[in-house]
Amino acid sequence: MAGDALSQDPAELRKRIDTTKAHPARVYDVFLGGKDNYPVDREAAGAALAANPRGYLDVRHNRDFMRRAVTTLAKDEGIRQFLDIGTGLPTAENVHQIAQEIVPDSRVVYVDNDPVVLAHARALLTSGPEGATDYIDADFKSPARILEAAAKTLDFDQPIALCLVAILHFVEDDEAYPVVRELVDALPAGSRLLLSHLTEDLNPANIRAVQETYTKRGFTFVLRSKDEVARFFEQSDLVVDEPGVVPAHHWRFEDGAPVPPAVEPHALAGMDDIEKVRYRDINDVTDADINVYAAMGRKR
């Protein structure tokens, strides 16, 4: 399926790309300093940042949680297989780069349904010679299709880490819970579920202001409570790792986040607020900044 997807006619692929509507993967790319987005995505990101000026910390800490979780699994748990659904656009330190730096024979399957992500998917297929990567062009709501295609690269007799990072808040309850259950049920014992999710538990005024900017643009945007996030683990009887379901900056953040490269003040002065985000040091985070829960669990 990956090969078929990547061999699509570029002209046909372009027809699938709607540059008149913002897309979550591309808005996320804006906040991470990427270039694979459109004016409508930058406008949406700018509106969200205006609504919550420290909101970039949600995006950046979400991404850093993924880095820490994958590092923990590869380094300390011996996990060598990852299924990353809702991958988003390629950026610095994708899952396979993190995992293969620690365990060179790691195998990673990426899944997304945004044609812009598909157009850039070859950047995700840069596996080292000992490991493997693949890309599946599929919707989260098609778990059977995802699992069938992923089995071409991953061994479902060995533990797999299912990565659902900042995707579930774009899915309503009637699909989110059953799909996660079906995906986890297909995994062998010893597999892991790692996820992050936006919430209004922590700083409701900030995140509701952001939610309004996105729902005006047609996004599904479901803010779930701590108990509702925990339900994704409980419904499959997963054992949640310490420290539990916690704000992202409290999930094993003892060593902090990498500090971005320094930039000359005159260069910074010439940037707009969105462009400056990639150069912000996120180690100055406080509890008043974060609206993301993060957690990881193990299948018995």
- Annotate 226-236 with b (16+ C-beta within 10 A) or e (fewer): bebbbbbbeeb
Q: Which amino acid is at 202?
A: L
pLDDT band at 126 (very low <50, low <70, confident <90, very high): confident
Whether residue 149 has pLDDT greater than 50: yes
pLDDT at 255: 92
Q: In whole angstroms, what is the distance from residue 155 CA to residue 207 CA?
A: 39
pLDDT for the residue 7: 56
Cα–Cα distance measured from residue 280 to residue 277, given in angstroms and rounded to the nearest whole number: 5
pLDDT at 3: 47
pLDDT over 90 (residue 118)? no
pTM (2 d.p.): 0.93
Digit-coded pLDDT (tens) for 170-187: 999 999 999 999 999 999
Reported as a single tens digit per residue, the pLDDT across 258-298 is 999 889 989 998 898 999 998 999 999 999 999 999 999 99
Question: Which position has the higher pLDDT, 210 or 5?
Answer: 210
